[in-house]
Amino acid sequence: MLEQLRSAIRDVPDYPKPGIVFKDISTILNNPELYRASIELMVEPFKGRENLYIAGIEARGFIFGAAMADRLGAAFVPVRKAGKLPWKTRAVSYALEYGEDTLEIHVDAIPEGADVVVVDDLLATGGTVGAVLELLETSKVNVIGVSFLVELEFLEGRKKLGGAPVHSVLKF
């Protein structure tokens, strides 16, 4: 199944800018068998855990994270861009290649001491996920893992994750 998932991912050259080869996962999302398989592989290390929270990063982390939460019987917590959540929030700002961005979670979304898995579709440079880990640290929770469908190993994003256990289904 790993080879089927790998071969289904479409490379889009020069997107979003020249020199970048974008890994398009929409080809997996529109194939029910591959999508189900990707979720099964992403949840594998976390099966059997109780009182688990899945923190999905906007937007593609929602696609995988919500399905993972359902499969694991876990709570789903959206990590959103600034101004998108309607209640009191905790926020973290972080640097991007072209500026700065801010992510937020509700202050009451995850109880202190809870076990959390952070989910996104792809690990590249690790900046966004690193910021989410920083945000969760202020929430005093226990991050038991970070789960991705795809990891671009050559970008060394793991180095920005402070030793958090990383589970990637496919590595390029």
- Our CA angle for 127, 3, 116, nearest 5°, is 40
- How confident is the model at residue 96, as a pLDDT? 78
Active-site position among 40, 49, 58, 60: 60
> Please, which residues bridge with residue 145 across strands?
117
Q: Are 102 and 79 spatial neighbours (Cβ–Cβ below 8 Å)?
A: no
Question: Is residue 10 flagged as an active site residue?
Answer: no
Scanning the structure block, which residue is given the tokens 């469908």? 149
Active-site position among 3, 97, 100, 112: 97
User: How many Å apart are CA 25 and CA 13, to the nearest integer?
Assistant: 14
Question: Is residue 44 flagged as an active site residue?
Answer: no
Please count the residues of the chain: 172
User: How many Å apart are CA 78 and CA 63, to the nearest integer?
Assistant: 11
User: How many Å apart are CA 123 and CA 126, to the nearest integer?
Assistant: 6
Give pLDDT tens digits along the chain (172 positions): 999 999 999 999 999 999 999 999 999 999 999 999 999 999 999 999 999 999 999 999 999 999 999 999 999 999 999 999 999 999 999 987 677 999 999 999 999 999 999 999 999 999 999 999 999 999 999 999 999 999 999 999 999 999 999 999 999 9
